[in-house]
Amino acid sequence: MDSINHLNEYKKEKQKILKSYFSDINNTLTKNNLSFDSVVDSSLSNKLSEENKEELTFDDYFELLKNIEKSNIIPGIGLELGNIKSVKNFGIYGYALMSSSTLEKFSSVADRIFKAIYASLSIKHEKVGHYLKISYLPTEPISKLGYVTLMEQVFMCGVALMKAQLPNSLQWQDCKLVCNYPEPTYSENYHEYFEGSISFDGSVMQLILPYSWINTPLNAGNDSILSLCNAKLDSILGSLRSQDSTVDKVRTVLLSSNFNELPDVSQIAAFLHISERTLRYKLSEAGTTYRQIRNEIRHELAKRYLYETDLSIQEIAFSLGYQHVQNFYRAFLNDCDMTPDKFRKQHSDK
């Protein structure tokens, strides 16, 4: 019975947070004299109605971001959506964030929020030299349409939440933002929200802070309250918590890599701090291999690129690491029983 109650409480907290995300979009559009109904489809509109008890999902939110990005009604809206976030939007997670006495403890709570909300992303904190690198990593293929808006919202939300808790004396000019997408036409907007250096076309989406910040006392830190919040979160998540499977970890590494320079099995094993033999064994136990995982991701991305972008077949093939477009044709035909051209035409005719 306890596990059922914990699951229900977990779902309840998650719904509160997701609803705040949709509310932020509605308020932002209204502030810009735009209609929420112009970007939301009928099925989601029905789901958002007070009478409908159906649960909202991350996919619902991402679909809305895709519609907004496609319409281009507010270029860079993701920056604004992230900037207006505050701890009050995150329920018990927010109390835990607000009570964190150091950035290190704050980051630990942020990891929990990520697992609760962003179904397609994970977050990784690591010390590299004198810096704390916060990486935003895909755990499954993510559509190119909507990705930039999502990542703008994600990193800016992190910045806004940290700024609210960190001392005002810290120099954000010493921070760096690395975006793993091309520079958008409205890139000057980024400097309105982020004071540090900004670069584009990086291999991984990263927010980079001075590592010396990690033990800086936060404004409202209270270890007693944090302990109570964490105990509550542990009780909610205890029956749900599980380590990411080896397959998921390999997928994450591959999705975060340049497909033209994919790591081999030995490199992935080293990244995961296990032997190559152990990695192969664990994948075998899960009924798969490195090659199968790589091909599955390539296939999923190929389909997304074909029906969600205007990239040519050759551009898609090269972006997925195929040296010859004929190899891409053969692989796609083998997986889908049709050529990439036919797949794209079928989808465009729907």
pLDDT digits (tens, 9 = 90+) for 185-230: 999 999 999 999 999 999 899 999 999 999 888 876 676 666 666 6
Residue 322 domain flag = yes
Same domain, 23 and 134: yes
pLDDT of 2: 41
Global pTM exceeds 0.75: no
Tell the residue number behind the tokens 């699951």, with chain if given.
7
Strands 121-128 and 176-178: unpaired
Question: Which of 23, 53, 15 has its CA nearest to residue 40?
Answer: 23
CB 94 within 8 A of CB 226: no
Assess whether 102 and 183 both reside in one domain.
yes
Largest CA distance in the chain: 62
Q: Are residues 198 and 305 in the same domain?
A: no
Print pLDDT tens along the chain (350 aa). Answer: 344 454 466 677 778 888 889 999 999 999 989 988 888 887 888 888 767 777 888 888 999 999 999 888 899 999 999 999 887 777 777 777 777 888 888 888 888 777 777 778 888 889 999 999 999 988 888 888 999 999 999 999 999 989 988 898 999 999 999 999 999 999 999 999 999 999 999 989 999 999 999 988 887 667 666 666 666 565 555 444 444 578 888 887 777 666 667 788 998 888 788 899 999 998 988 889 998 888 888 888 888 778 777 778 888 888 788 888 999 999 999 888 899 999 888 876 65
Q: Are residues 53 and 116 in the same domain?
A: yes
134, 35: one domain:
yes
Q: What angle do CA 7, 12, 15 make, to 5 degrees?
A: 125
Q: 218 and 83, same structural domain?
A: yes
187 and 321 together in one domain: no
**Do the domain assignments include residue 241?**
no
Radius of gyration of the chain (CA): 21
- 240, part of any domain: no
**Which structural domain range is residue 302 located in?**
246-348
Cα gap 234→349, rounded to integer Å: 49
Question: What DSSP letter does each residue of 282-308 carry, written as one string?
Answer: HHHHTT--HHHHHHHHHHHHHHHHHHH
Q: Work out how many domains the chain is built from and give that number.
A: 2
